[in-house]
Amino acid sequence: MNKEKYRKIFLIGILILIGILLAFFPELDNKLEEYLIESETVFIDRVIDGDTVESNGSSIRLLGINTPEKGEKYYGEAKELLENLVLNKTVILKFGKEREDRYGRSLAYLYYKNENINLKIVEEGYANIYFPSGKDMNYNKFYLAWRECNKNLCEKSEDICANCISLIDLDYKKELIIFENICDYDCNLTNWEIKDEGRKKFVFSEFVLGKNKHVNILTGKGSNSENTLFWKNQNYVWTDSGDSLFLRDDRGKLVLFESY
């Protein structure tokens, strides 16, 4: 057996051993993560909003989450929660694949006393998940937290049509969404809204989806018809690296959520 084959067998053995150790000693996973991920300790002296803080004049955007903008419901609550968690405290920043966004802000997960602050905000229902650069090792935790949450932003709709509207297709390549009313009565979707993980939002205007009917929502220009609506003034909505769709009723309650 040549040296190359020995080397491959050795590497495979090491990987198997690491897998066994992580399976039986899950605390090692956290230690390995701490070793591999770049981190920095900073003092938070200002909270700008629910997902942005400052340290010594430098802005830090929290990874994995998106909180309401000023003027939107739960904006104040999200900011207040973050203030209670980190303001005037020393935290650890753990960085992802990209260290900065296009605005020059640092991108990081915030940890205080070993608690993932970003994840806490999702668990409290004040942020939806947000991974515009693609899923990382924290994605599954955030996804499950959102799925299990049922308060504030993730409070489930009690509208009579909440169980009627089914997502038939979300084709991010064609920028196409298809909803179907699976009930035997019409559903008034006026002022219901679709949102992506970021800030893009579509609001249904004076629209009723008939029983057992479907509606196509396309990004771009076009004329609305009985079963086709256009998400105008957007070059694109759905990202190739992964995204999520949130459908809410006219009271802002969550009807359905789909991630890819």
Return the structure tokens found at 159.
């509208």
Q: Where do the CATH 2.40.50.90 domains begin and end in the chain?
A: 37-153
Whole-angstrom Cα distance, residue 93 to residue 144?
22
Q: Where do the CATH 2.60.40.1260 domains begin and end in the chain?
A: 156-259
Q: Is the pLDDT of residue 23 over 80?
A: no
Give the class (CATH, top level) of 156-259.
mainly beta
Phi and psi at 223, nearest 5°, equal: -100, 130
Q: What is the mean pLDDT of the chain?
A: 92
The 3-state secondary structure of the chain reads CCHHHHHHHHHHHHHHHHHHHHHHCCHHHHHHHHHHCCEEEEEECEEEECCEEEECCEEEEECEEECCCCCCCCHHHHHHHHHHHHCCEEEEEEEEEEEECCCCCEEEEEEECCEEHHHHHHHCCCCEEECCCCCCCCHHHHHHHHHHCCCHHHCECCCCCCCCEEEEEEECCCCEEEEEECCCCCEECCCCEEECCCCCEEECCCCEECCCCEEEEEECCCCCCCCEEEECCCCCCCCCCCCEEEEECCCCCEEEEEEC
pLDDT in tens, 165-176: 999 999 999 999
For the segment 218-240, the average pLDDT, to the nearest whole number, is 94
Closest CA to 210 of 165, 246, 170: 165
- Least confident range of 6-10, 12-16, 23-27, 200-204: 23-27
pLDDT of residue 35: 44
Q: Is the pLDDT of residue 86 over 90?
A: yes
For the segment 97-121, the average pLDDT, to the nearest whole number, is 96
Q: Is the pLDDT of residue 21 over 90?
A: no
Return the structure tokens found at 168.
């038939």
Q: Is the pLDDT of residue 32 over 50?
A: no
Q: Is the pLDDT of residue 34 over 70?
A: no
- Least confident range of 34-38, 72-76, 148-152, 171-175: 34-38
Whole-angstrom Cα distance, residue 105 to residue 99?
8
Return the structure tokens found at 16.
């198997």
Over pLDDT 90: what percentage of the chain? 83
What pTM value is reported for the model?
A: 0.83
pLDDT band at 256, cuts 50/70/90?
A: very high
pLDDT in tens, 177-219: 999 999 999 999 999 999 999 999 999 999 999 999 999 999 9
pLDDT band at 104, cuts 50/70/90?
A: very high
Domain 37-153 has CATH 2.40.50.90: yes
pLDDT of residue 28: 52
